[in-house]
Structure 1
Amino acid sequence: MRPDLREGLWLTAFLWCGVLGFLNLSSIIAGTVSTVGEYLTLILAPIFALAIATLLFGAFRIMAGRNVLLAWPVVGLAALVCAALMTGADYGSQIVLHHLFEGHRMPVMTRTSVLIVAALYLCIYTTNAALLWITSANRHMREQQHQIAVRDADNLRAQLRVLRLQLDPHFTFNALNGVSGLMTAGRHDEAERMVQRLAGFIRATQEYSPETIISLEDELALTEEYLDVESVRFGDGMQVDIQCDPDLFAVPVPNLLLQPLVENAVKYGVSPSQDPVTIRVIAEPLGEDRIRLIVANDGFTGVGGAAPGTGLGESSTRSRLEMSYGGAAGFEAGPTSSGYSVEITLPVSGPKVRAGR
């Protein structure tokens, strides 16, 4: 844990100026400072203290990253040396000022008084070392937390990318299978229109990376383009109803979040039905800070259990929501009295994992 130079200097200056400022102010109030030399002593003391403290800071930086059993004795020895130097500088400056300024009073210089002063300086330098260690440890911990946060975000983006890439071939297979069915049935014009719309949809989706965050307005536009592709195949057998409160257009969401859900609605609601089926996509506010997205169809009723194959679309959407929002997103799916519905609730603030286009 190497201490930051600027942080260390500010911390040391604050400590020494605080301690010496208190002592100097006490001396002035007590009336023990009256001559020019004595006032100079008050100025020189913090200068000496800060200059000598650089030795302690240097020892701390040299021992950064070393074994604690080795580092602390060295730092402790450095604090002892600094205390001895400061004691010498203190008394030495007093002697010089005594000779330069008449009337400058010398402090008591008995062995006991010198040891007391040295012990005081040792306590201050030891405190200085402890504060340097605490701030360095705190900064190191913050750096580690930042690295962990960056790594976790990168991992989440990678997982989101894998999930999206799993869905792409799934969608492409279903779309091409639909084109093949039209060709086999001799509906060549419709197959051509479907291929053209499919190409337009794929071009639109290629603009985004798998983890890109887009506006809800753009997400609904992509959903509508996908349903336009499928409408060629089903004609009047599939009706689309997309509703969104205009105030929600700017809400950020993961791109193609709804696509696997509407694909399930087409495959398991529209395709097997002999009657026209309506797919509804609804975006509405839920309180002041959440929205609700609904993908519903009135074709598949869920009688006899969930339709085979609905697992990938729903499970991948659940996983993307968990990775993008953590526990802030909600997901519910199941049969209704008139078909099948998937409901997603999201915070309007958007996902916690974001990436640019």
Structure 2
Amino acid sequence: MEGKLVLADGSVFSGTMLGPLHTVGEVVFNTGMTGYQEVLTDPSYCGQIVTMTYPLIGNYGVAASFNQSRQPYVRGFVIGELCSTPSNWRAENSLAEFLKRHRIPCLYGVDTRALTRRIRASGVMMGVLAPARMGHEEALALLSNADVVHLVEKVTTPIVYRLPRTGPRVVVMDFGVKRNILESLARLGCDLTVVPAATTAETILAMEPDGVFLSNGPGDPKEVSYAIETVKKLVGRKPIFGICLGHQILALALGGDTYKLKFGHRGANHPVKDLATGRVFITSQNHGYAVAETSLHGTDLVVTHRAVNDGTVEGLRHRTLPVFSVQYHPEAAPGPHDNMYLFQQFYQLMTKEV
């Protein structure tokens, strides 16, 4: 079936639709060569139509062990070539079957290089993914009804649950947490209690945790005002570690500001410099917002990491309190697990080993 992606600026990209479904979302691109199933199931992509810049997608199939959450959250998928004959000893199904089963609209056979260049030049924008038979005006009309706000509420856990271990007790504020992050903390022995995003500071402190973890998640951090207020009350009470959206929420809670990037950072190949050591790490990232460095003047926050490509803030720490955060995903290393030291630092803060 012929299909198309219609962007808010009126440009159209043609291809083949995997099925008759249509969708509306923010069109972004991811530069990773692998990890397409992790992208599809990462809650941070909620509300978005994701374009993969790598030309061949689906070549190693899909498997349940790669899922990062209880369900996929992307609105749509745009790729160059959809592999129909995956080869991988772990594969349980093809990508096409996975997309159909979860009713994720997919457009393939697209000039993804041209689409990516358009987004880089004009910035991310809303788009409609639909069969070619849908009229252009009808497609543009759908943009006015797009629901891409309050995304954290759509992905956070509805209930409190535990992943018991024998180590320090950690309360995880779930803004859209990935499974690999929870597993990384659990491997260190952390006794995890995962709570909904709107959980109050009083409720969290009543659980008597040794530390609080602020997870990744989708959307504008300023929309999660209730979480910002909660973190304000937790700072100074317990060690805190934030990742991605959690990093942005922490900055806002401590007097900083955030802003929307032109086209964001999404992929498994972004270089980040640790300012303390001078070492550059290759990191996995997925965010459309960043902390404004100028807003940190006069606060107790110090920049610890910086993006090599554009100089944006990638890490923060408090001058005196056991509080720190990073913008990237240390658990999602594309190769060696060099960034796992951040989880170990959090562990040491909770057990007072430093």
Query: Which TM-score band (shorter chain)?
Result: under 0.3
Between structures 1 and 2, the one with greater strand share: 2
> Rg: which structure is higher?
1
Normalised to the residue count of structure 2, the TM-score between the two structures is: 0.21
Which one scores higher on RCO, CA 8 angstroms, separation ≥ 6?
Answer: 2
Q: Which has the higher helix share?
A: 1
